Amino acid sequence: MYRCICENRKIVEIIPKEVFGIPFKSITVPLRNSKRKAIGSINIGRSLKRQNTHKELTENIAAAFEEIIASVNEISNSAIGIANSSEKR
C-alpha cells in the first residue's frame, strides 16, 4: 500500500503462500485528492488457492499421461519385435 501511495499508481502483485499462508492476488489502488495526489489507498485480495490446486492437478494428470505414453510405446516396440521374430520363422 505504501508503494501505491508513493508511486501514485495501481499495484497488482501475486503474493506467494509463504507470506501469509495462502496465495493471493493483491490489487492496490491509490485514493487521490482533487490535485490527483495520492492521499491513501485501498487494497483488495483474491485467493489463488483454487487456481493453484487446479494447476497441481493438471500437472499430475500430464505426468500420468507421459507415463502411459511411455508404457504404450514400450508395449508397441515389444509387439513389433515379436512380430518380426515370428516372420523370420
Q: How does pLDDT run along the chain (89 residues), one tens digit per residue?
A: 889 999 999 999 999 989 988 899 999 999 999 999 999 999 999 999 888 889 899 999 999 999 999 999 999 999 988 888 877 66
pLDDT on residue 81:
86
pLDDT on residue 38:
94
> Model pTM greater than 0.75?
no
Contacts of 41 (CB under 8 A, 6+ apart): 1, 4, 5, 28, 29, 30, 31
pLDDT on residue 89:
65
Radius of gyration of the chain (CA): 27
